């Protein structure tokens, strides 16, 4: 039996560290067992104790042997005194004294001793079944325990993965974040990765660092049907290694019931000093948690890697004679041997211009980078681009209007001009003309005033600035959600609440203006009760979550190749239908500024038909409501 150097108390089978807060004066009977290896003291509380034990329900206090006899003598004396004090009401209670008491004591002591064995720290799993066992969990509705991972520790998880099999992502999903709870204001994710070798994250996230060995076991050229079959019922081992190098290394090994072994890996920079948190997320899946423990980190240093290629984007197409800035706002991205990539500073690049910038004509700019990923000098990688040195620009003219010439507005803030489709022609000092690259121009914002307006277009040359204007029309809407500068963060700006009575539909008409940088920079529809209890949230880009979303069927006809680039200026009608049978449908009818039309529909979302509202929420976009 393990000998402890401190008192260990069990109150009705539950371990407590001390009795400081326990109301000893409420204990009415304390028999003391005569056992040389442990002092076992049974106490029965009266009916007024705050522990609210029922009559005949024994309160068991067990004190494990302490090496220093002074403690034993102190507690034996104290409890004996209390026992004498409480005997007068003994006839009201019975004593539940197990015959195998010593065996239980030894078993509990052994179990506690096993919780920390050398380098292994075992973790308690509070949620052993994660998500509904019918695989109905919608995204971001069912989560495993939070597991904190200190620096220089590796979290080892084992679980059985169950999947609906409907999609590749209907399996385990892993989030690695800072320590605050995911509902806290200062919660921040490092990344979320899925079992199908996909993910997203903060600025350090790099999908190129994800690897997998998924086989085409049936030889049909499609690995994903085999993947889905293997993952349902697979035994998964996840290792999340928080290295002191300031990186986290994830290895996921899934062994299917068919014997197939799937391995996925990913690594990314994280805090080298602060603890990180990891948790699993269900999405049409559930998990049977088996094991969780911490080990020492396996990664003590990160091997340095050489650059293998460099790409330059955003360089100027031309510059005027006398202007030797051949770089402008260009960005250089270097890819390293481990598959990662990073933007590098201009100061770390070397340049050669052939021939020099002192004459008119085409120039070749050679760009080289010669540092490893960790900053040591090594063999350089290089690329090149060309630009034109021209005569000075004397005038500008809009020769093709942009796709969007009519803007809807509601707030008083100026409006960001969308240059898509616009063609501007420059006239040079020698009388020649040429189309000027939009990247070389500056586009002013549009004044927020109804009627005819203009956007000012400027070219800043080596000697002077030349301007022209683009004619536009502004139309006042009836409301707006989000800021005109595309700064509105997720879940920070909401439309009015729209009631949707049973058996009816509500349609909201709007124009969406977006930075066009991601699919979800567009409107989302919230279905909820009048008290704001949510049923579901459904985005325009065929994605949703919530308790009611598990029954939804999404359909759409998007061309995903142009979806993101086409959001800005789209006319959208969102119709929410309360079917009256405790289900609701949401339909997005979308007309791009180009005139192309598409739809997104969600059918059969579970709601309470007697209490259904809807509201809109954008992210890095804004909505001008017109009806």
Higher pLDDT, 111 or 264: 264
* Residue 490 is assigned to a structural domain of this protein: yes
The helix (H) or strand (E) run that includes residue 192 is: strand 189-194
Confidence of residue 301 (pLDDT cuts 50, 70, 90): confident
Task: Assess whether pLDDT exceeds 80 at residue 56.
Answer: no
Residue 3 lies in a domain: no
174 and 83 part of one domain: no
φ/ψ (deg, to 5) at 447 = -60, 140
Identify the band that residue 339 occupies on the pLDDT scale cut at 50, 70 and 90. confident
- 363 lies in the same domain as 401: no
Q: CA 415 to CA 518: how far, in whole Å? A: 20
Query: What percent of the chain clears pLDDT 70, i.e. is strictly above it?
Result: 81
Q: What is the spatial distance between Cα 517 and Cα 620, in angstroms, rounded to a whole number? A: 9
Last residue of a domain, one of 340, 362, 390: 390
Least confident of 83-97, 140-154, 362-376, 560-574: 83-97
Per the prediction, the chain carries an average pLDDT of 86
Q: Is the pLDDT assigned to residue 610 strictly greater than 70?
A: yes
Expressed in angstroms, the distance from the first to the final Cα of the chain is: 77
Is the per-residue pLDDT at 67 higher than 70?
A: no
> Are 474 and 448 within 8 A, CB to CB?
yes
Higher pLDDT, 85 or 219: 219
Q: What is the mean pLDDT of residues 449-463?
A: 93
Answer whether residue 301 is part of any domain: no
Distance, C-alpha 579 to centroid of its chain: 33
pLDDT given for residue 557 in this prediction: 95
582 and 548 part of one domain: yes
Task: Examine the domain organization and report whether 370 and 348 are in the same domain.
Answer: yes
Query: The tokens of 383 are what?
Result: 């690329």
Q: Please tell me the distance from the alpha carbon of residue 318 to that of residue 386, in angstroms, as a whole number.
A: 9
Which CB contacts under 8 angstroms, 24+ apart, belong to 107-116? 108/10, 108/15, 109/1, 109/2, 109/4, 109/8, 109/64, 110/1, 110/2, 112/2, 112/15, 113/2
For residue 2, being part of any structural domain is answered with no
- Residue 22 confidence (pLDDT) above 90: no
Give domain status of residue 408, yes or no: yes
Residues in the chain: 627
Residues 226, 245: one domain? yes
> Each residue of 226-237: pLDDT tens digit?
999 999 999 999
Are 405 and 365 in the same domain?
Answer: no
Chain-centroid distance, C-alpha 144: 15
Are 144 and 92 found together in one domain?
Answer: no
Q: Based on the fold, state whether residues 597 and 617 are members of the same structural domain.
A: yes
Cα 133 to chain centroid distance, Å, stands at 24
Query: What local confidence, expressed as pLDDT, does residue 452 receive?
Result: 96
- The count of structural domains within the chain is 5
- Among the residue ranges 73-77, 221-225, 287-291, the one predicted with the least confidence is 73-77
When pLDDT is averaged across residues 430-434 and rounded to a whole number, the result is 92
What's the whole-number mean pLDDT along residues 163-167? 92
Do 25 and 73 reside in the same domain of the chain? Answer: yes
Structural domain boundaries enclosing 230: 120-296
What are the φ and ψ backbone dihedral angles of 284, each rounded to 5 degrees? 65, 35
Give the model confidence (pLDDT) of 470-490 as tens digits.
999 999 999 999 999 999 999
CA distance 603 to 136: 16
In three-state form (DSSP H/G/I as H, E/B as E, the rest C), the secondary structure along 237-262 is EEEEEEECCCEEEEEEEEECCCCCEE
Residue 263 sits in a domain whose CATH number is 2.60.120
Task: Determine contact, residues 500/506, Cβ cutoff 8 Å.
Answer: yes
User: What residues contact residue 599 under an 8 Å CB cut-off, 6+ apart?
Assistant: 556, 557, 587, 588, 589, 590
Is there a single domain that holds both residue 336 and residue 380?
yes
Mean pLDDT along residues 160-165: 96
For 391-422, where are the E strands, in sequence order?
A: 393-400, 406-409
Domain boundary at 426, 455, 476, which?
Answer: 476
Q: Mean pLDDT lowest for which of 15-19, 41-45, 117-121, 468-472? A: 41-45
319 and 341 belong to one structural domain: yes
pLDDT of residue 300: 84
CATH, residue 323: 2.60.40.10
Per-residue pLDDT at 598 exceeds 70: yes
Q: Are residues 279 and 130 in the same domain?
A: yes
Position 13 pLDDT exceeds 60: no
Using only C-alpha atoms, what is the Rg of the chain?
34
pLDDT above 90: percentage of residues in the chain? 75
Give the per-residue pLDDT at 110: 52
Judge contact between 250 and 276, C-beta under 8 A.
no
Backbone angles phi, psi at 621, to 5 degrees: -155, 170
Query: Distance between CA 472 and CA 535 in Å, rounded?
Result: 41
Q: Domain ends where: 265, 296, 327?
A: 296
Given this model, what pLDDT does residue 106 score? 59
| pLDDT band, very low/low/confident/very high, at 52 (cuts 50, 70, 90) | very low
**560-589: pLDDT as tens digits:** 999 999 999 999 999 999 999 999 999 999
Peptide bond into 381 cis (omega under 30): no
pLDDT at 461: 87
396-409 pLDDT tens trace: 999 999 999 999 99
The predicted model scores a pTM of 0.63
Which pair of tokens denotes residue 49? Answer: 């104790």
pLDDT for res 116: 59
What pLDDT is stored for residue 79 in this prediction? 46
The pLDDT value recorded for residue 111 is 55
pLDDT at 424: 97
DSSP 454-480: EEEEEEE-SS-EEEEEEEEEEEE-SEE
pLDDT number for residue 138: 87
Q: Would you state the pLDDT for residue 566?
A: 96
């Amino acid at each position: 039996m393990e000998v402890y150097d401190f008192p260990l108390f069990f109150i009705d089978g539950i371990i407590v560290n001390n009795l400081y807060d326990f109301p000893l004066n409420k204990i009415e009977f304390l028999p003391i067992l005569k056992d040389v290896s442990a002092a076992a003291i049974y106490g029965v509380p009266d009916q007024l104790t705050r522990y609210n034990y029922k009559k005949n329900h024994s309160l068991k206090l067990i004190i494990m042997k302490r090496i220093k006899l002074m403690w034993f003598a102190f507690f034996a004396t104290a409890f004996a005194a209390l026992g004498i004090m409480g005997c007068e009401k003994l006839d009201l209670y019975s004593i539940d004294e197990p015959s195998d008491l010593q065996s239980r004591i030894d078993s509990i002591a052994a179990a506690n001793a096993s919780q920390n064995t050398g380098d292994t720290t075992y973790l308690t799993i509070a949620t052993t079944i994660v998500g509904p066992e019918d695989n109905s969990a919608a995204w971001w509705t069912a989560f495993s325990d939070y597991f904190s991972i200190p620096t220089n520790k590796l979290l080892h998880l084992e679980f059985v993965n169950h999947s609906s099999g409907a999609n590749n992502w209907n399996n385990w999903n892993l989030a690695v974040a800072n320590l605050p709870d995911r509902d806290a204001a200062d919660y921040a994710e490092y990344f979320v990765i899925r079992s199908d070798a996909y993910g997203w994250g903060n600025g350090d996230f790099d999908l190129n660092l994800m690897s997998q060995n998924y086989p085409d076991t049936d030889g049909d050229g499609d690995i994903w049907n085999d993947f889905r079959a293997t993952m349902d019922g697979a035994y998964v081992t996840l290792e999340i290694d928080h290295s002191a190098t300031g990186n986290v290394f994830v290895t996921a090994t899934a062994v299917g019931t068919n014997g197939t072994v799937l391995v996925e890996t990913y690594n990314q920079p994280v805090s080298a000093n602060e603890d990180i948190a990891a948790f699993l997320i269900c999405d049409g899946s559930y998990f049977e948690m088996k094991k969780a423990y911490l080990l020492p980190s396996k990664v003590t240093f990160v091997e340095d890697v050489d650059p293998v290629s460099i790409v330059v984007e955003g360089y100027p197409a031309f510059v005027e004679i006398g202007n030797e800035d051949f770089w402008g706002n260009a960005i250089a991205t270097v890819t390293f041997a481990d598959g990662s990539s990073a933007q590098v500073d201009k100061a770390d690049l070397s340049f050669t211009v052939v021939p020099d910038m002192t004459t008119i004509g085409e120039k070749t700019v050679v760009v080289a980078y010669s540092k490893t990923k960790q900053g040591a000098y090594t063999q350089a990688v290089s690329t090149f681009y060309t630009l034109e040195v021209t005569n000075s620009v004397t005038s500008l003219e809009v020769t093709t209007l942009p796709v969007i010439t009519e803007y809807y507005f509601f707030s008083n803030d100026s409006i960001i001009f969308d240059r898509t489709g616009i063609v501007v022609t420059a006239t040079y000092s020698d009388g020649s003309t040429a189309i000027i690259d939009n990247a070389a121009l500056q586009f002013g914002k549009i004044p927020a005033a109804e009627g005819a307006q203009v956007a000012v277009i400027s070219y800043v040359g080596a000697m002077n600035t030349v301007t022209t204007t683009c004619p536009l029309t502004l139309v006042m809407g009836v409301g707006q959600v989000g800021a005109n500068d595309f700064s509105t963060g997720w879940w920070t700006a909401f439309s009015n609440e729209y009631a949707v009575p049973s058996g009816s539909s509500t349609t909201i008409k709007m124009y969406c203006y977006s930075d066009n940088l991601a699919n979800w920079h567009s409107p989302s529809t919230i279905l909820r009760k009048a008290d704001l209890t949510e049923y579901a949230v459904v985005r325009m880009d065929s994605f949703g979550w919530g308790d009611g979303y598990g029954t939804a069927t999404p359909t759409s006809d998007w061309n995903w190749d142009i979806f993101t680039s086409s959001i800005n200026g789209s006319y959208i009608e969102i119709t929410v239908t309360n079917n009256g049978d405790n289900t609701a449908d949401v339909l997005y009818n979308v007309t791009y500024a180009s005139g192309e039309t598409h739809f997104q529909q969600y059918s059969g979302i579970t709601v309470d038909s007697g209490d259904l509202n809807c509201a809109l929420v954008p992210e890095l976009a804004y909505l001008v409501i017109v009806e």
